[in-house]
Structure 1
Amino acid sequence: MASVKLYDKTGDAKAIRIQEKLENNFGFLPQTFQAMGRSGEFLEKLLSLSEAAGKNLEPKTKELIAIAVSAANGCEYCVSAHRAAALQLGVTDEEITGALEVAAQMSAFNTFNKAIGLDLDLKAK
C-alpha cells in the first residue's frame, strides 16, 4: 500500500494527458506514475530525464544498469519494473543476476572504502 496519495488521472490536466498515454503503453497505469501524477510538469520532466539518460547505451545495457542501481538503492519496485523491461528486451536471467552481483560487490567496496578514507591512488591516466 502506498504511503502517499496516488493520482490516478486526478492531477492537473497535463498530468492526466501524460497518464492516459502511459496507461495506453502499459495497459494499466503503474503506481509510480500515479504517485508522480499530481503535477504534469513534474511527471513530464522525470519522463524526459528517463529518455535522455543513457541515450548512447544499448537498451539492454541501460536496463541492466537500472536494475543494479535500483538494487543498490533498495528499491524493490524499480528492480521489478526494470527486470520486466530487460526480459522484454531479451536480457537473460543470468545477465540480470550478474548485474546484481556487480551491484552487491560495488556496494561492499564502496561502503568499506568510504568508511576508511583511502587516498585516490587508482586513477585513469
Structure 2
Amino acid sequence: MTQLIEYEDSSDEVRAVYDDIRATRKTDEINNFWKALANHPPTLQRTWQTVREVMTIPGEIDPLMRELIYIAVSVTNGCEYCIASHTSAAYAKGMSDNMFGELMAIVATANTTNRLANGYQIPVDEQFKT
C-alpha cells in the first residue's frame, strides 16, 4: 500500500499544495488521494492544478453537473475511490438519491450500448458526423 503523507510529515513543496487544496475547498481536510500523490510532489502539483482548473473554475457546466460527469466516468473506469469522493461532493452540491439513481441508469445504459456498438463495429451515420 502506498504511504499517505500527512501535512506535518510533508516537504515545503507538498505543504504548499496542501495549503492550496485547503484554501480552494475551504476545509482543513486533505483527502487520502492527495496524501498518496504527495509521494511524488511533481505528480501531486500537476494533478491538483488540473483538478482545480477543471472542477472549480466557473464555466458553462455547473459544479453539480461536473461532479455527475466525474461519477459517470469513475463508474465506467471502476475507480472506487473516485466514485466515493465525487458522490459525496455531488450530494454536497445538491444531488438527490433519485438523481443518483437516474445517473446510474444512464451510465449502465451507455456502457451497454457502447459495447454493442463496438462489438458490432457499427459505422457512424452521416448525420451524426460533425
What interval of TM-score do these two structures reach, taking the shorter chain for normalisation? 0.7 to 0.9
8 Å CA contact 2:3–2:39 kept in 1: the answer is: no
For 1:27-106, list aligned pairs within 5 A. 27-53=28-54, 55-106=59-110
Deviations 1:24-78 (A, max 9, x none): 7443321101111123332222122123326321001111111111111111111
Secondary structure at the counterpart of residue 4 of structure 2: coil
Structure 1-normalised TM-score?
0.82
Question: Hey, what's the Cα distance between the residues in 1 that align with 2:5 and 2:103?
Answer: 33
8 Å CA contact 1:19–1:37 kept in 2: the answer is: no
Q: Which residue of 1 aligns with 2:2?
A: 4
Number of aligned pairs?
123
Secondary structure at the counterpart of residue 84 of structure 1: helix
Q: Percent identical across equivalent pairs?
A: 20
Structure 1 gap segments, 5+ residues each: none
Q: Hey, which bits of structure 1, 4+ residues long, moved more than 3 A?
A: 9-12, 20-27
Question: Hey, what's the Cα distance between the residues in 2 that align with 1:52 and 1:116?
Answer: 38
The CA RMSD measured in Å over matched residues stands at: 2.2
Question: Hey, what's the Cα distance between the residues in 2 that align with 1:87 and 1:72?
Answer: 19
Q: Which moved more, 1:75-84 or 1:23-32?
A: 23-32
8 Å CA contact 1:18–1:44 kept in 2: the answer is: yes
- Relative to its length, the structure with more helix (as a share) is 2
